[in-house]
Structure 1
Amino acid sequence: MKEERVKAEVMCPFCGTYTILKIKNHRKSVSCPGCREQLYLKKTHGKDFYFRASEAFGMRNITREFEKLFEENSK
């Protein structure tokens, strides 16, 4: 059985590449076809694309750590 592929809009912050890819729907990241940097796949609620990739993979964890740090200091 062939696995379904979905559309992903890629907007690379590193090299500026813009493209639309067909990928498997269980992926968490994708490599930019222009510069090969890993990009985080974020699910969209739009009907045009299933995923949008516009930030570096791993930045979500760094952002969450900073949010926790500022939450602790503000209490």
Structure 2
Amino acid sequence: DDDINIFDPNDIEFAIATRVKGDEDIYIYPNVRGSTLDPRSENGIGTKVGIDATMDLSKKWKFERAKKPGIKKDD
């Protein structure tokens, strides 16, 4: 989404907090290749998690951030 800077942890946290429905937007992928350095994996096979924190474009107006007068995002 164009309102989220993927390199800004605050933006990522905002997207997850406001756009993720746990029962619809979190994906679990079992039995996928990972790192053999992971002590929980079995022969490098483990489970991965994906999170879809993108906004529903039909409800874009709901995701506008509140603006505080006199304060810029970088402050």
| TM-score with structure 1 setting the length | 0.20
Structure with bigger gyration radius? 2
Larger fraction in strand: 1
| TM-score with structure 2 setting the length | 0.20
